Amino acid sequence: MNYEEFLDDKAQLGALSGFEPLWMPGFLFDFQRSLLEWSITKGKSAIFADCGLGKTPMQLTWAQNVVQKTNKPALILAPLAVAGQTVREGAKFGIEVTKSQDGLLRGGKLIVANYERLHYFNPNDFSGVVCDESSILKNFDGVTRAAITQFMRKIPYRLLCTATAAPNDYIELGTSSEAIGEMGYMDMLGRFFKANNGSLHPMHHVRAIQGDKWRFRGHAEHDFWSWVCSWARAVRKPSDLGFDDGEFVLPELIERQHVVHANARADGYLLDLPAVGLQEQRQERRRSIQERCEMAAKLVAERDGASVAWCNLNDEGDLLSGMIPGAKQITGTMDDDEKEELFEAFSSGQLIKLVTKPVIASLGLNWQHCAHQTWFPSHSFEQMYQGVRRSWRFGQKNAVTVDIVTSEGEANVLQNLQRKQAAAEVMFAKLVELMNHELRIKKANNFNHELTQPAWI
């Protein structure tokens, strides 16, 4: 590779602007239409919209506009099982979507594929790309994430959609910015942040990025959020954008905590004490596995309708699927076709009781038909938030019950989750407030006035 090829490989297409929307279907809500008008005109953007606000019809409309503008296909990348769901959603809205697993377009203009199949596709075939549940980007290893960013680099129109771009997760915001060609996340950190240990250059402390090791530079917070809202919009409900919430009101969420007593004592202890540190917490999880699974299975069996029993360990999943009558387990060892078949069966109501892990099924799936879940919580707030929101989302007609099952030694895990939840609510509210503030300023300022020449010139 010569130097010119090296530069071309690193280059973004540039700040190509979008275009005026060519098609706005009648099935869109007013706030969805507003988001799309902004996003299509922007060209490369991100929409952080909460679960159930209709990201799929917005993605389909966005992609269809790109197809009509360029007469060239657009690609929607989605997590496993969400690709098939996108095809069904497209049929519901009268938009033809073709699913491809081998990179062949088969004459389709709107193509949907799983992230894991990206290597089969040629970016030169597409004029637009959508990353559904784009928060998944940070979960991939560095090679896969770089491949996705590289694939998008020369595509003129790009859209990222997710529900949980955590406002205090600056890495995710930087990864999103890099994917749409705004700014690399290392450049973002260097411009707006400094390490808590006083270092001014983030490259000296790359490993520290994953933790809470960064703080805003002096007076940089306002500039940071001004920059974010130049390429992203965040919305938890229509009123965040100034529209009426209408039917977008969530039903009641009932969270019940169940603490079980492990029959086996921890080595050297007469009483159950809160586990301290990850090693003790892993031991506590193993020690109480039988009792926790028995409690979760009992709670699921008491429900007549659909239930999801979430687990973290393979042994938990095996025990639960054996204890819950009629339950099927989706595991990481299954091939993609087998997983999708079970997901389809659960979504359609053929399968009533499902056992799986958040890392497999917590993103993108619509389970409004299911109003009951059981959880063995971990420290991942995002996994639990996303998993619960598969059921507790706009469009759910019933109160949703979430049964949280822990042992006596897992008190610290629950406290950490509650702390993260409170922080996320505060930060997302702040993000929406700051974005709206910036938008009000932009709307209030009219930059189209004719320039007047000073008298002294």
| Residues 323, 240 within the same domain | no
Please state the domain count of the chain.
2
pLDDT: which is higher, 280 or 68:
68
| Residues 140, 27 within the same domain | yes
- Asked if residue 60 belongs to a domain, the reply is yes
Q: What is the pLDDT of residues 219-236, one digit of tens each?
A: 888 788 788 888 988 888
- Asked if residue 431 belongs to a domain, the reply is no
Rounded to the nearest 5°, which phi and psi values hold at 44?
A: -130, 115
| Residues 19, 160 within the same domain | yes
Axis-axis angle for helices 411-444, 221-228 (nearest 10): 80
| Residues 138, 286 within the same domain | no
Closest listed residue to residue 66, CA positions, set 18, 106, 15, 112:
18
Q: Which two tokens stand for residue 126?
A: 């597409």
| pLDDT value of position 271 | 52
Give yes or no for a contact between 390 and 365, defined as CB atoms under 8 angstroms apart: yes
| Residues 155, 270 within the same domain | no
| pLDDT value of position 189 | 86
State the residue range of the domain holding 97: 11-182+231-244
pLDDT: which is higher, 7 or 41:
41
| Residues 257, 178 within the same domain | no
Q: Which two tokens stand for residue 299?
A: 């709670």
- Asked if residue 220 belongs to a domain, the reply is no
- Asked if residue 112 belongs to a domain, the reply is yes
- Model-level pTM? 0.78
Closest listed residue to residue 93, CA positions, set 57, 119, 124, 132:
57
Q: How far apart are CA 187 and CA 193, in angstroms?
A: 10
CATH of the domain at 99: 3.40.50.300
| Residues 27, 156 within the same domain | yes
Closest listed residue to residue 50, CA positions, set 396, 316, 413, 334:
396
| Residues 21, 45 within the same domain | yes
- Asked if residue 211 belongs to a domain, the reply is no
| Residues 139, 270 within the same domain | no
Local confidence band at 168 (pLDDT 50, 70, 90 cut-offs): low
Q: What is the pLDDT of residues 307-355, one digit of tens each?
A: 999 999 999 999 999 999 999 999 999 988 899 899 999 999 999 999 9
Nearest 5 degrees, angle CA 18-CA 70-CA 130? 65
Q: Which two tokens stand for residue 313?
A: 């360990």
| Residues 293, 402 within the same domain | yes
- Asked if residue 313 belongs to a domain, the reply is yes
